[in-house]
Amino acid sequence: MRQKQQIQPKLCGPWPDHPFSQELAVMAAILDAHPVIAELAWQDLVQARRHDTGAPGMEAMAVVKAAVLHKLMGLSYERLAFHLFDSVSCRLFLGFGPFDTGPSASALQDNVSRLSVRTWEAINRVLVKWAQKEGIEAGRKMRFDSTPVEADIHHPTDSSLLNDLIRAICRDIHKAGLPKSLRCRDRRRVTRKLALNIINAKNAKQRKLLYRKLLHHCQDLYQEVLDIVMRLEGRWGELREGLTHWLELMQKVIEQARQRVLLGRELPAKEKIVSVFETHVDILAKQHRDTVFGHKICLAGGASCLITDCTIEQGNPPDSLLAPKMIVRHEGIYGKVPRQAAWDGGFASQTNLKAIKAYGVQDVAFHKRRGLRVSDMVKSSWVFRQLRNFRAGIEGCISALKRVFGLDRCNWRGQEHFHAYVWTSIIAYNLVVLARHCIDKKLL
């Protein structure tokens, strides 16, 4: 039977006398003080699965702590499994006794991946509420900014997308072990060579000629596989669904390559496919910066450096459309709007200023005024300078999230896991911030 939390502490030695171990001890105490976190995780772990028979499995709170440790130490699941076997501090953090066998890498990955986005967001709100109660973060002075998070995909080109599709289709058919009458020609080798020649083409004319050959192979394979799908029956249902998915994508990528390469037409960013494996990825382009393939997130931070809220946007909406939504979400967390709010220059607009003021925010400062008067935003020029300098602090929080907690690039697959990855990084970061505040104030 899977447990939510340890009923009785196990016999363990003392925490090592090291700053990192002491931080882990405080983080564990914060999590253990909130049984609702274990309840939220337990609901995800037992969903659609029997939990009253078989091996006990990892406790719900231990799964949450494993995910935090995974981000905090920047380890793969294989390395994390080793540290849980070898490190005293890591074992104490998860609540393992000296004679407990640590979970394997596959068990860690399976359990952590089953925690949903809603659960991680709810856990963060529990921590934010606790920080408010302890006087760490009152939520009265807030700063907001947006940043991109990359997806784990290679730089997209039309030739690489077509090559990926052919590779996936031929691989699935080969692994399925279909009879000879339901097989197609394996085009992986020829299309791989064509994709490589396209990259090294000397001029546009040669590149177009190579693209025509690649598209010809793709269209032939499309017709062959479509005929196979129409004849698949019975136990091949799962294969049929998978091939249908690849064929739908292939049809779109073929048309995309034809429009862009052969006809020279520009396509809107929202209509482009940049990955056949991570189809949810957005194109995030900014002037004078490299294009990022992933998702834009908008963060809310307080004076304590705690990240109180986060939204993961669809598409590439301008920052000017995100400000009122963040104020509404802040009110939902704290029950009141902040007294002062500082924003990046991209959020600056007369419409945003009026909307934020209408919610009851007294002082609003944008990093760039963009035609707005200081007297309309804040009480005085001194307050404006103070808020503008205060806003710069969230840049350091974002830098720490990306450098230390892996928020620069998500290596989890799928849209739901992408969102969970972002929230896991934020919660690991917030726990470190809370632990350091607790150590300074001697709260725990």
Do residues 25 and 81 touch, judged by C-beta distance below 8 A? no
**8 within a domain of the structure (yes/no):** no
Asked whether residue 252 falls in the same domain as residue 310, the answer is: no
Residue 9 binned pLDDT confidence (cut-offs 50, 70, 90)? low
Q: What is the pLDDT of residues 384-407, one digit of tens each?
A: 999 999 999 999 999 999 999 999
Tokens 């205060």 identify what position?
390
Q: What is the mean pLDDT of the chain?
A: 91
Contact 26, 68 (CB under 8 A): no
12, part of any domain? no
Give yes or no for a contact between 37 and 31, defined as CB atoms under 8 angstroms apart. Answer: yes
Domain boundary among 271, 299, 314: 271
pLDDT score, position 56: 72
CB-facing half-sphere around the CA of 76: CA atoms within 13 A: 4
Q: Which domain holds residue 394?
A: 119-153+280-441
Percent of the chain exceeding pLDDT 70 equals: 95
Mean pLDDT of 181-202: 92
Question: Region 191-212: what's the mean pLDDT?
Answer: 93
Question: What tens digit of pLDDT does each residue of 374-384 get?
Answer: 988 999 999 99
Mean pLDDT of 294-315: 95
Chain segment 120-129, per-residue pLDDT in tens:
999 999 999 9
- Span 270-294, pLDDT tens digits: 889 999 999 999 999 876 778 899 9
Banded pLDDT at 315 (limits 50, 70, 90): confident
Question: Is 28:12 a contact under the CB 8 Å cutoff?
Answer: no
Whether residues 141 and 75 fall in one domain? no
61 with 4: CB under 8 angstroms?
A: yes
Identify the three-state secondary structure at position 428: helix
Task: Give dist(CA 402, CA 400) in Å, integer.
Answer: 5
C-alpha to C-alpha distance for 42 and 64, rounded to whole angstroms: 10
**Euclidean distance between CA atoms 214 and 196, whole angstroms:** 11
SS3 116: coil
Same domain, yes or no: 135 and 94: no
**CA 215 remoteness from chain centre:** 34
Residue 338 in this model has a pLDDT that exceeds 90:
yes
Please answer whether residues 137 and 50 qualify as being in contact, where contact means their C-beta atoms are separated by less than 8 angstroms: no
Partners of residue 302 on adjacent β-strands: 142
Element (H, E) at 77: helix 77-86
Examine the pLDDT at 362 and tell me if it is beyond 70: yes
Same domain, residue pair 195 and 241: yes
Residue 346 carries which DSSP code? G
- Is 298 in the same domain as 393? yes
| Number of structural domains in the chain | 3
Q: Are residues 183 and 324 in the same domain?
A: no
Confidence of residue 10 (pLDDT cuts 50, 70, 90): low
- The model scores a pTM over 0.85: yes
| β-pair type (340-343, 141-151) | parallel
Q: Is the residue at 293 inside a domain? A: yes
What the block records as the tokens of 406 is 């892996």
Same domain, 289 and 224: no
Given a cut of 70, whether residue 163 has pLDDT beyond it is yes
| Residue after which a domain boundary falls, among 207, 240, 271 | 271
- Give the pLDDT score at 52: 67
Same domain assignment for residues 183 and 320:
no
- Report yes or no on 2 lying in a domain: no
pLDDT at 13: 66
Most confident segment among 4-8, 272-276, 426-430: 426-430
Q: Looking at residue 435, which CATH number applies to its domain?
A: 3.30.420.10
247 Cβ partners below 8 Å, 6+ apart? 169, 222, 225, 226, 229
